[in-house]
Amino acid sequence: MAGPLVAEAPATGDAPAAERQWPSETAGWYALFVIVLTMFLTFFDQTVFAMLAEKMRASFELSDSALGFLLGPASVIAFVFVGIPLSRLVDIFPRKKVLAAGIAVLGTITALGGLAQNFAQLVGTRLFVGAGGSAHGPGSYSLLADAFRPVRIPIVFALVQFGFVLGQSGGTWGGGQLIAWTEQFPERIEFLGLAIFNWQLVLIIIGLPGLLAAILFLLVREPPRRSPPDSARLVPADAPMGRKLLAFTGFDAIRAINLRGATYWPLFAALALSAIESQGLPAWRVPFISRTYGWTEADIGNLLGPLLFVASITGIVLGGVFVSWMNRKYKDGNIRACAIIFTCTTTFAILTPLMPYAELALGCMAATAMFGLAGAPAQNAAIQRIAPNEMRGQVTALYLFMFTFFGAMGSFVIGSVSDLIVGDPAKLWQALLIVAAVFMPIATLFMWRAIRPYREEVERLEALGI
């Protein structure tokens, strides 16, 4: 087994562990509230945007491949180039300021999508949406890990998921209602001197609250970064400029990951492959139900929104209980629990497009979301447990990049399968079935494969007193 990553220079400013004081938990809970609110707005925006899929397809006369590109890859192209560098800002600047800037950009650009005059301009706005949100995950988890004692972290990370729960379920219901409301207007309306489609009002409405969240972030009390007394800075203060710039590329994080490749890469592969289906399917929920069963966006939102809310809350509670129980029995409890949960998720993902009735299909979607959310806190906690503190932001960013990038590609993969393999837009269900049956079983096998090396890494860190 390879030795630990060798740091380059001693850290300064960290007191011995016995002398270090934890920040006020009141400040920590406020930070958690703002992070949950921001996550709610982020996923509310994403969910509502996906609810507009059929409207955008009709207005801009798009193929399923083009629609899949808009729903997914368009939002991560910029992330590929700036996501890792921006995550480096999390490790060297006050995290609250990085997070405030990110949500302000995301909200503003989402609103500007409501003014897009053509497909290319709409794609352009999604590019910047991806860039604006790229530092949110790494910054949030890094800040919270320093704001609470380790014993609190599992419950704190679980509570973070409420932002996702409320954003996804609220966006599904609220998106349907907003779309139904805009249908009372003419198809094309005048707004700020521009002719826009009536559904574009939805993007303007959902984007603006991001500016409020940015202000709330600036009121967060930045917690001190906590590292072991003998830890080291990633880059010395007197390092050459070239070395400092290299730190923004993610090279150091990749080097740390490769030193423990047997531990990290199966986890990364499992997350990436599962994201193709788990994130691709939500983008196509409305088109699938509309084309297969003839339901409207409002019909879908009225049933799926409450279903997702109940399923997600259930997933958080049952997942937390199950993961805690597994952690009491096994050192690799986080990953062992994820492997079992992945198996359940795979089953319902494959069943979803095979259902004879819309209600059953929506129920399977909710079950898939429940199991997916049940494993999310365990996956995040597992990475935070083994990631070197001095580059936790970038290691987390790389991990979340696998989820974000491959998840975004999922919508394009489904659209391409629909166009190139199935060949009939009305049979979109076949494309969903093909993608689920190919990617989810492989992802599940990788998660099972990750159990042993993860356990060995935890034991190594415990032997070092970490």
Average pLDDT over residues 146-172: 82
Place 358 in a pLDDT band, splitting at 50, 70 and 90: very high
**Token pair belonging to 273:** 């492959």
Provide, rounded to the nearest whole percent, the portion of the chain with pLDDT above 70: 81
Looking at residue 19, what is its pLDDT? 44
Rounded Cα distance, 317 and 337, in Å: 14
Contact 162, 316 (CB under 8 A): yes
- Quick one: pLDDT band at residue 36, thresholds 50, 70, 90? very high
pLDDT in tens, 55-87: 999 999 999 999 988 888 887 776 666 666 666
Task: Give the pLDDT score at 263.
Answer: 77
In tens, the pLDDT along 111-143 reads: 999 999 999 999 888 877 766 666 677 788 788
Tell me, what's the pLDDT at 245?
A: 53
pLDDT at 238 over 80: no
Q: How far apart are CA 429 and CA 357, in angstroms?
A: 12
- Mean pLDDT, all residues of the chain: 81
Question: Measured between alpha carbons, how far is 136 from 317 in angstroms, rounded to an integer?
Answer: 24
Tell which wins on pLDDT, 343 or 124: 343
Name the band, by pLDDT with cuts 50, 70 and 90, for residue 436. very high
pLDDT of 230 reads 45
pLDDT digits (tens, 9 = 90+) for 87-114: 667 777 888 888 898 888 888 888 999 9
Q: What is the pLDDT of residue 369?
A: 87
**In the predicted model, is pLDDT for residue 276 greater than 80?**
yes
- What pLDDT is stored for residue 443 in this prediction? 92
Report pLDDT for 256: 63
pLDDT at 251: 61
Cβ atoms of 43 and 163 closer than 8 Å = yes
In this prediction, residues 414-435 reach a mean pLDDT of 93
> What is the percent of the chain where pLDDT is above 90?
30
In the chain, the largest separation of any two C-alpha atoms, in whole Å, equals 68
- State residue 16's pLDDT score: 45
Residue 15 pLDDT level (bands cut at 50, 70, 90) = very low
Q: Which has more confidence, 238 or 283?
A: 283
Under a CB-based contact definition with an 8 Å cutoff, are residues 110 and 207 in contact? yes
Q: Is 27's pLDDT higher than 60?
A: yes
Encoding tokens for residue 267?
A: 């986890």
Q: What angle do CA 147, 149, 150 make, to 5 degrees?
A: 115
CA–CA distance, 374 with 351 (Å, rounded to integer): 19
CATH class of the domain comprising 21-226+242-463? mainly alpha
Q: What is the CA radius of gyration of the chain?
A: 22
pTM for this prediction: 0.71
What lies within 8 Å, CB to CB, of 180 at 6+ separation is 296, 297, 298
Domain boundaries, the chain: 21-226+242-463
CA torsion sign for 381, 382, 385, 387 is negative
Q: Calculate mean pLDDT across residues 375-382.
A: 76
224 token code pair: 């001190």
Residue with the bigger pLDDT between 385 and 233: it is 385
Report strand pairing: 9-10 vs 232-233: antiparallel
Distance from chain centroid for Cα 354: 27
pLDDT score of 253 more than 70: no
Say what the pLDDT of residue 163 is. 87
